Amino acid sequence: MPAKGAQRREQRAPTVNGSGAATPRSVTADVLVIGAGVIGLAIAWRAAQRGMRVVIADPDPGSGATHAAAGMLTPVAEAAYAERELFDFGSASLRRYPQFAAELTEATGLPTGFRQTGTLQVAHDVDDMAALHEHALLRESFGAQTERLTGRECRAAEPMLGPVCGGLLVSDDASVDPRLLTTALLAAARAAGATHLRQRARRLLAGDSAAGAELDEGTTVAAGQVVLCAGWASAAIEGVPAEAAPRLRPVKGQILRLRPTAATRAASPSPSFLNRTLRGLVQGSSVYLVPRQDGEVVVGATQEELGADTTVTAGGVWQLLRDARALVPGITELEFAEAAAGLRPGTPDNAPLLGPSALPGLVLATGHFRAGVLLAPLTADLIADLLVTGILPAAAAAFSARRLAAQPFEHQDAAPSWR
Ligand code: GLY
């Protein structure tokens, strides 16, 4: 399906850069997508599939929050008090994931790392177990299926676990590799006819309505609809009127990647160090370990309100390794492959901002905070509907981009950063 549409659109699409061609001075599109993280790329793909001429502006796709995301798709394990609507939204997006991932791979031949292997959430000590028990009651009040396991049953499910008090098993949860996903989404968007310009959107062009943007290497993109999905930096693009600008704060997350060595591979019959995503509470501190098919384990994540700081700190790495090792002592045998930090886009109520802003033609799709990867398929479908029909589907009503507009807006001090 995308291939046929793409052929038709390629004839009228502007020159693509990033593939060796000269950067065009001006480009016209139906939709300009500012930001090529997982949200922007998924929207661009879906909108292009529906016949829209789409331009994506981003100097380095997938280099923001997506780059440091573990890719957990765990709406049940991440459910929180007073976030019932977000839980339902996340669950609905998770239901779309198997088809979303399969369609991407079919369109591009590229993997996404999607695995539906469940989540085991464990408690390290008795107090952690009490907290987990409270969480189980919350989940059950949301109607979520969750199975209570004893410590022994947890260890039977995950033989690499050390002693734990007990846990909760959710079998529908899944994970994806956000870096693979981004690569596949960019390829799919381009195959569907979207144009990617490797430039940062410097300034929104707008009069009574959004009209496009100026990019930082001088290209002008004229577009009747502009989708702002540049993560926390969405708040700092010049020319966005204060009443239309998203209210966002960067929330730092540090994350580690550990890889099997020849010795750990020889010691284990299974390439996966863990069978499923493991989340744990260790003396009140939370940690997660997300295994990939090839044996890599992603350990995350800190949550730090420090402004736009992406320093990987000794303390952050220590905290993650300390808690991960308390749950799974054998992780110390793995190779330490990477430590990274990213900035999640947090809104005042921690829920995303979706749909028309106060400026006609300017659409927001940002503020996904801890759940951008999970919420990408549903966000993309709903925003593509809005772009094509002019109507934001009811499923997004609770996350209206205008719900916080009455509150005063303050620009972030830090310079906008895409990297
Ligand atoms: N969703 C996991 C995180 O943001 O750390």
Tokens of 177: 């590799």
For atom 4 of ligand 1, the residue with the nearest CA is 370
Task: Give the residue from 45, 53, 46, 51 showing the smallest Cα distance to 12.
Answer: 53
Does residue 370's CB lie within 6 angstroms of at least one atom of ligand 1? yes
d(C-alpha 248, C-alpha 95), whole Å: 28
Q: What is the pLDDT at residue 411? A: 39
For strand 166-170 and strand 195-197, is the pairing parallel, antiparallel, or unpaired?
unpaired
Does residue 301's CB lie within 6 angstroms of at least one atom of ligand 1? yes
Task: Give the residue from 333, 280, 342, 359 showing the smallest Cα distance to 306.
Answer: 342
Q: What is the pLDDT at residue 17? A: 45
Indicate the angle between helix axes 372-389 and 178-191, nearest 10 degrees.
20
Q: What is the pLDDT at residue 273? A: 85
- For ligand 1, what atom is nearest to the CA of residue 253? 5
Counting Cβ atoms within 10 Å, is residue 8 exposed (0-12), middle (13-18) or buried (19+)?
exposed
Does residue 245's CB lie within 6 angstroms of at least one atom of ligand 1? no
Q: Which residue has the tokens 């959430």?
A: 121
Q: What is the pLDDT at residue 238? A: 95
**What pTM did the predictor assign?**
0.91
Q: Which of 346, 368, 397 is the last residue of a domain?
A: 346
Same domain, 242 and 147: no
Does residue 290's CB lie within 6 angstroms of at least one atom of ligand 1? no
Task: Give the residue from 288, 255, 238, 252 showing the smallest Cα distance to 121.
Answer: 288
- The per-residue pLDDT for range 316-364, each reduced to its tens digit, is 999 999 999 999 999 999 999 999 999 999 999 999 999 999 999 999 9
Same domain, 340 and 353: no
Task: Give the residue from 170, 322, 168, 305 showing the smallest Cα distance to 256.
Answer: 322
Phi, psi of 143 (to 5 degrees): 80, 20
d(C-alpha 321, C-alpha 166), whole Å: 21
Q: Which helix (H) or strand (E) holds 373?
A: helix 372-389
d(C-alpha 317, C-alpha 178), whole Å: 21
Contact 298, 255 (CB under 8 A): yes
Q: Which of 346, 381, 405 is the last residue of a domain?
A: 346
Q: Please compute Rg for the chain using Cα positions.
A: 21
Contact 369, 251 (CB under 8 A): yes
Counting Cβ atoms within 10 Å, is residue 169 exposed (0-12), middle (13-18) or buried (19+)?
buried
Q: What is the pLDDT at residue 337? A: 98
Same domain, 213 and 190: yes
Q: List, in order, residues 6 or more apart from 210 with CB less than 8 Å away.
A: 204, 223, 224, 225, 226, 359, 360, 361, 362
d(C-alpha 57, C-alpha 264), whole Å: 42
Same domain, 363 and 255: no
CA of 108 to the centre of ligand 1 (A): 27
Q: Which residues constitute the domain of residue 377?
A: 1-115+173-247+348-419
d(C-alpha 57, C-alpha 36), whole Å: 7
Q: What is the pLDDT at residue 146? A: 87
CA of 129 to the centre of ligand 1 (A): 21
Same domain, 297 and 354: no
Give the DSSP letter string of 335-352: EEEEEEEEEEEE-TTSS-
Same domain, 232 and 309: no
Same domain, 243 and 352: yes
Q: What is the pLDDT at residue 10? A: 33
For atom 3 of ligand 1, the residue with the nearest CA is 370
Same domain, 139 and 159: yes
| Residue ranges, the chain, pLDDT below 70 | 1-22, 269, 271, 405-419
Q: Which of 325, 346, 367 is the last residue of a domain?
A: 346
Same domain, 159 and 189: no
- For ligand 1, what atom is nearest to the CA of residue 300? 5
Same domain, 221 and 266: no
- For ligand 1, what atom is nearest to the CA of residue 371? 1
CA neighbours within 13 Å on the CB side: how many for 79? 26
Does residue 184's CB lie within 6 angstroms of at least one atom of ligand 1? no
CA of 69 to the centre of ligand 1 (A): 7
Same domain, 288 and 409: no
